[in-house]
Structure 1
């Protein structure tokens, strides 16, 4: 059985994951408005990943006899000055999610909830990958710049995500 305090903490994390999906969908809409379909593709796949994360937590809460309670989400940011700012926001957001996962893990340590700790090991590793991916794209954007061929090549590269 999931303790009341952990149930609340997991519900908060589910909300954060859902809000992440909403943010990435907003970012995809921005990219499409800038005629960057590859960037939009990357963001849409990120949206699906975040929904998957939320559902993984949702399933866990239910399996442990808890109750999922969803709460309202804020309107996500919709405007960015450039693709570089877009990925600066992605990296900043992923770092915030990492901090939230770490805080949740600390709560499971305190509660001595070993099943929750095992689940969160997966999330901790996932966050390492999420931050690395965002950081790599951001650094490439900074090196290549946002004009002409370099941006088009980046867009094409990001369009290939999820194709194999």
Structure 2
């Protein structure tokens, strides 16, 4: 049985995952409006992944006999001054989500709730991958630049992450892969 504190924090995390999904959907809509189709497809796919993260939390609460509560949330931003600003916002948001997962892990470890601690390890690894992915996208944008054909090239590069689903995993796993 989960403690009320763990249940509360898991429900908060459910809502952060839903917000993340809505944020990525909105950002994808903005990219589509700006004719950045590769970015739009990538962010839409990422919105789906965030909902899968939410469903995983929801299922865990249900399996433990706790009530999952999906609350209201603030609407995500709709305008961005640039693609760099938008991806900066994503990177900052993912760092925030990581801090929330870390708080959950700390609480589960402190109580101790080893079942929840084990369950959360997937999220710890996932957040590492998320931060690495968005930091690498920002690095590529800064490397290529957004002047002239740069924006087109960036959109194409990010679009490749969608057309090859394994590319998302390969990009995020390269940080932990052994060097030859």
When normalised by structure 1's length, the TM-score is 0.97
Q: Report what 1:158 is aligned to.
A: 158
Query: How far did 1:2 drift?
Result: 1.4
Q: Quick one: distance in 2 between partners of 1:129 and 1:51?
A: 17
Gaps of 5+ in 1: none
What pairs with 1:124-143 in structure 2 (closer than 5 Å)?
124-143=124-143
Q: Quick one: distance in 1 between partners of 2:83 and 2:18?
A: 23
Question: 1:119 and 2:119 equivalent?
Answer: yes
When normalised by structure 2's length, the TM-score is 0.88
Cα contact 1:25–1:44 (8 A) shared by 2? yes
Cα contact 1:41–1:161 (8 A) shared by 2? no
The superposition leaves residues 51-85 of structure 1 with CA deviations (integer Å, 9 ceiling, x where unpaired) of 01000000000001100011101010111001110
Relative to structure 2, which stretch is displaced further, 150-159 or 130-139?
A: 150-159
Q: Quick one: distance in 2 between partners of 1:115 and 1:136?
A: 33
What pairs with 1:28-47 in structure 2 (closer than 5 Å)?
28-47=28-47
SS at match of 1:35: coil
Q: Which one scores higher on RCO, CA 8 angstroms, separation ≥ 6?
A: 1
The number of residue pairs the alignment matches comes to 164
Q: Tell me the C-alpha RMSD between the 2 structures.
A: 0.9
Q: Quick one: distance in 2 between partners of 1:139 and 1:80?
A: 18
